[in-house]
Amino acid sequence: MTGNLRTFVLMAALTALVMGMGYLLGGQGGAVIALVIAGAGNVFAWWNSDKMVLRQQGAHPVTRQQAPELVDMVAELAQRAGLPMPAVYVLETEQPNAFATGRNPENAAVAVTQGIMRVLNRDELAGVIAHELAHIRHRDTLTMTVTATMAGAIAMLGNMLMFSSMFGGRDDNRGGGLAGILAMIFAPMAAGLVQMAISRTREYEADRSGARICGQPMALASALAKISRAAGQVVNIPAERNPASASMFIVNPLHALRMDRLFATHPPAEERIARLQAMAADFAPSRVPASGGPGGPWGAR
């Protein structure tokens, strides 16, 4: 399934969820209103979800004058991947993490946190950026950005249903408060499961393609080990405020509570690392040339 077709199917499925929740809120009229809102939301998400996610995460763009080594690294890896140069953003959080967004390779962005640049050495950071560029090349970014936006809207409707069922009276024709409570529970869960299914499969493929782009599977494996250890120790406040976007990051940015683990959007880091280690056995490593001096700004650690 192509990236655009996959996104269309997901948008249709999430729209159906929104319509069902609208029906529970207001009957047939509610379903029609929900359809109109969902349609407008889909159009908005298609064109603007990447900008929305970047704003939600507090990302700011950087130029070559501001961060020459980082921007040159992204440019070198994008050339290797056969991609146009994406915009480069930095997130003001000490949690080591990264994500990519954009509706197509011509309108893409790669975002890294301040923390990841402190924790990783140059080869490891190159592996992470290559992983994100692989998402752009596979057009995963459109799918996950739109899904994250719609899942957030569904969660908001779920909360509305909860309060409606508690304070809005009972309509026996639509199942009353019980239907509202069930929708409040299962609709956001269904959206989350969609995210989980896509995220798990796409992460393995992005790891594999990213390792080929950067030329060092073990550097990416080392980066994943460092990030997964550190991510749970530092709170990423923008991600906690917008949990629907968690699946976009290379490692889950939310604190690993029991419920988080039950609906984890990412495969286990140990499994991802094991696959990269197996890949490295038959791989000829290569390095990304350093443009900011020997070893780049991060050096070997």
Range of the domain at 263: 3-280
Q: Is 138 assigned to a binding site?
A: no
What does the pLDDT read at residue 12?
Answer: 72
What does the pLDDT read at residue 92?
Answer: 92
Is 287 within a domain? no
Is 285 within a domain? no
* Alpha carbons within 13 A on the beta-carbon side of 31: 9
Is 292 within a domain? no
The model carries a pTM of 0.74
Instruction: Give catalytic status of residue 132 as yes or no.
Output: yes
Q: Is 203 assigned to a binding site?
A: yes
Q: Is the pLDDT of residue 52 over 90?
A: no
What does the pLDDT read at residue 49?
Answer: 67
Is 267 within a domain? yes
- The answer for residues whose C-beta is within 8 angstroms of residue 70's C-beta and 6 or more apart is 62, 88, 90, 112, 117, 297
What does the pLDDT read at residue 195?
Answer: 59
What average pLDDT does the segment 131-146 reach?
84
Is 155 within a domain? yes
Q: Is the pLDDT of residue 99 over 70?
A: yes
Domain count, the chain: 1
Is 114 within a domain? yes
Above pLDDT 90, what percent of the chain? 38
Average confidence score pLDDT of the chain: 78
Secondary structure of the chain: what % helix, strand, coil (to 5)? Answer: 70, 5, 25
What average pLDDT does the segment 263-269 reach?
74
At residue 8, what is the residue type?
F
What does the pLDDT read at residue 149?
Answer: 63
Cβ atoms of 206 and 200 within 8 Å: the answer is no
What does the pLDDT read at residue 154?
Answer: 67
Q: How far apart are CA 146 and CA 11, in angstroms?
A: 8
At residue 24 the predicted structure's pLDDT band, cuts being 50, 70 and 90, is: low
Is 291 within a domain? no
Q: Is 240 assigned to a binding site?
A: no
Catalytic residue among 132, 240, 270, 271: 132
Is 240 within a domain? yes
